[in-house]
Amino acid sequence: MASKVSGETVDLPSFFADLVRCETRLYNALNDRLRERHGIVTSQFEFLRHLRDHPGARVADLAAEFAIGIGATSKGVDRLERQGWVARTPNPSDRRSSLLELTDDGLQLVDAAEGTFTERLAELIAGPLKASPISAAAQAFSELRSVLERDQIGMPTG
């Protein structure tokens, strides 16, 4: 069903389907490459990268960033901790939570995997598309994400 968006007719259900299917295929392709070269999957890479860039984050911070439940986030961190890539330390301002830090092995892993991640994204996105549509899409998704986050739309309940 077509909808009017800023004076243009857009098939929003098709747009949604394309968006979700592209995201799934990109995520799976990144999973394959990261697993092959580094023994991790995209979700693990994203957690490690966030922790590298936000030292002292809590499980709740990761859950909020990735819009996933606390339980799933905690289990993901548990797996990273078992691998020796993340360490939990007591939170001095809230004894109910822990602060998360990358270990040296975790930092080496995320730094190595980042090159693979970026290279594969360039192959998958920059290869088939020109810079102008990528820039326009990046701007549109940034604006949409800001509104969704501002209005707390789609946040998990658990």
Q: What is the rounded average pLDDT for all residues in the chain? A: 92
CATH number listed for the domain at residues 11-129: 1.10.10.10
β-pairing verdict for 98-102 and 86-90: antiparallel
Angle between helices 12-38 and 42-53 (to 10 degrees): 80
Domain boundaries, the chain: 11-129
Of the candidates 92, 89, 115, the one whose C-alpha atom is nearest the C-alpha of residue 103 is: 89
What is the structure's pLDDT at 68? 93
pTM here is 0.86
Confidence of residue 97 (pLDDT cuts 50, 70, 90): confident
Q: Decide: helix, strand or coil at residue 83.
A: coil
